[in-house]
Every structure is written in C-alpha cells, then in structure tokens.
Structure 1
Amino acid sequence: MCVAVDGAPRSARLDLLPLRVDHAEEMARVLSDPALYVFTGGRPDTPAELRARYGRVLAGSPDPAVSWLNWVLRLRDEGCLTGYVQATISPGAAGPEAEIAWVVGTPWQRRGLAREAARALTGWLDSRGVRTIVAHIHPDHRASASVAQTCGLTPTGHWHDGERRWRREVPEGVPETA
C-alpha cells in the first residue's frame, strides 16, 4: 500500500525520500557492488560522480513537458539508504505515462524491498492520474521481472537496447488505485 507523507511515497518499511545531492556519499556505498550492473552494464559511480549526476537530475528535464522524479529508499528499521526508485513522466496518447526503474543494493536484496518500493511508486503514480506505466527489463533478470509483475506490468513484444518493455495501462473509465 502507498501512503503519501509530505507528498512522497511511503510503504510499510520504507520512506521514499526525494533525491538530494548530499545523498551521493551514502548511495555510492549502496550501489558499490559491481554485481548490480550485470544486466544494465556500467560500473559503480564514485561519490563525486554521483554528486555530479544528482545535480544534473535535480536540475530537471530540459523538456518542460517531462518530469524527472527520483527518490532514495530509506529502510526505517535500519536507518539507512538501500536503493532508489525513479519515474520519468511524459504526456501520452491516453494521458500521462511514466517510465519507472528501481534498484536495491546487494546487501538488502531478497527481502522484498524492491517489490515494496516499486508498488509504493506505482500506487503514488496511480493516485496522480498516470495512465500508463512502463519499465525496461533485461530478459534474464528474473527478480526485476517479478517486481514488474507485482506492479501489474506485463511483458510486451517491444525491445530497446536488449531489454524488453513491460507495460501496464489503466483503461479509460477505470479509476486509478492508490
């Protein structure tokens, strides 16, 4: 279930905190395991690289019709950051649509946190009238596919950069759920 606190999504165990540049140091540790990049490519960023990236992200999209939303995941019981979720919202044919992504650091995986965070995010998007939600998932990344399924997304026949597009659309006349 998604409960908004000060406008931000929240779940049973997680606070989704709006991204800040000063999260870079802790997030560099959260995202430091090279195993996190097996399906997406790349390597862990240094704290300086994350600070620069977060500064660019927080400056916002150069397209005024597109919103970039980014939250870090704070596990309340442990008082630490554990990952992030993000959504890019843009105009769509049936209303606003969002492309979402989630990452949970290796030490916190296999605890249902990605599923919980993604559900909080999609519930928050639903409550704001987003009609279509998509995610791109590597075909061998079973954990992410399971998270997407839990959020009501289904795989499509569309591919981008070796990842399958998953999609959920709320039909016209059907109320969004929170």
Structure 2
Amino acid sequence: MRVLEAEPIRTARLRLDPLRVDDAAEMAEALADPALYRFLGGEPPDEERLRERYADLVAGAEEPGVSWCTWTVRQAADGRAVGMVQAVVGPDVGGMRAVISWMVGTAWQRRGYAAEASRALMGWLRERGVGTVTAHIDPRNAPSAAVARSLGLAPSGGDHHGEDVWTDRPRRT
C-alpha cells in the first residue's frame, strides 16, 4: 500500500503547509482558547506538549500502509498560523480511505477557513486516489457538522467513541 506524505496545498486565502515540529510555538498560541476543547475534552496544549505530539506526527504511523498527513493552516496574506487539518490515510477495499479532521483557532472562526482548508485537503486526497473520506464529529458540535455538510459528508449512522461518523459514501440499507 502506498504511503502518502503531506505536501504544500494552496487556496485563494490559505496555505496548508506540511506540519513541522517548529510550528508548535505558533500553534500553541493559535489553539490556546479552552473553548476549542469543549467537544474534544482536555485543555489547550502548551508548546512543549505540542512539540512532542508534532514530533510523533512528523515521524509517521508505525502501522504499514497508514499515513499521517498533517498541515498547519496559514493565512496566505501574512503567513500567520490559524489552525490545522489532518488526514489519516489507510487501506480500504479497492483502494484507500481517509479520516479527516480540522481545527481553527477561535480568533479565525466564522471566516470559512475550516471548510476552505478541508475542501482543499479533500481535493488533495482525491488526486492521490483516496476513495472514501470520513470525519468523526461530536454530535453537539454544530459548527463542525456544518463544515462536514459543506464538504458533502453526511452522517453514516456509525459511532466512533461517542462521535458521529460522517462520510462521503451513502449509507447502505
């Protein structure tokens, strides 16, 4: 199974840069609002915790055929970090599937950045042969559900650790 590596992605307003460990300081600031963790649990990570986490993400998955692709989302105009998007890509019947996620700092929400970055990510995945895209969303998280709908995802009826599974593949009846 082919392993993917994050590559730069551009949109009209954003740059999606492959994650670097050195992004931790900037991201700790961008993602510092405790309200961001309302549906995720926990609290905002400090720079040291993010450095450790980012080192693991950059090192990649140990499972054969699985790719961890993570990007720092930046405003194209000034290069400021505003959030992140991620895809965990692995084998699926007849190809590859991805579970995607997004997070945009509170100061940059309600600008469409999460949807714009995630749409670009989905396009990148499609260009690389990923057939199915899913996202796991807390059922109380209406803003993330709105982003998922804008991407063409719909609830599948599945559950992943208390989160609804949204997919771009229709539910089989």
What is the TM-score when the length of structure 2 is the normalising length?
0.92
Q: Which residue of 2 aligns with 1:116?
A: 116
Task: Give the structure 1 partner of residue 73 of structure 2.
Answer: 73
Give deviations 1:77-112, integer Å, cap 9, x for gaps.
233000000000000013100000000000000010
Q: What pairs with 1:84-163 in structure 2 (closer than 5 Å)?
A: 84-163=84-163
1:44-59 equivalences in 2 (<5 Å): 44-59=44-59
2:8 counterpart residue number: 8
- Once the two structures are overlaid, the 10-residue window that deviates more, 161-170 or 35-44, is 161-170
Deviates more, 1:71-80 or 1:22-31: 71-80
Is 1:85–1:102's contact at 8 Å kept on the other side of the alignment? yes
The Cα RMSD (Å) is 1.4
User: How far 1:157 sits from its partner (Å)?
Assistant: 0.9
Instruction: Name the CA distance, whole Å, in 2 between partners of 1:98 and 1:169.
Output: 12
Distance, in Å, in 1 between the alignment partners of 2:150 and 2:52 is 33
* Greater Cα shift, 161-170 or 118-127: 161-170
Tell me, in whole angstroms, the C-alpha distance in 1 between the residues paired with 2:94 and 2:36: 34
Deviations, residues 121-152 of structure 1 (Å, cap 9, x unaligned): 00111111100000000111111111111111
Letter of the aligned partner of 2:25 in structure 1? E
1:21 counterpart residue number: 21
User: Deviation of residue 11 (structure 1)?
Assistant: 1.1
Provide the rounded CA distance (Å) in 2 between the counterparts of 1:21 and 1:46. Answer: 13
State whether residues 131 and 169 of structure 1, in contact with CA within 8 Å, keep that contact through their aligned partners in structure 2.
Answer: no
SS at match of 2:133: strand
Describe the SS at the equivalent of 2:168. Answer: strand
Matches of 1:94 and 1:100, distance apart in 2? 19
What code does the residue aligned with 1:151 have? L
The answer to whether the 8 A contact 1:155-1:165 is kept is yes
How many residue pairs were aligned? 165
Whether the 8 Å CA contact 2:7–2:17 is kept in 1: the answer is no
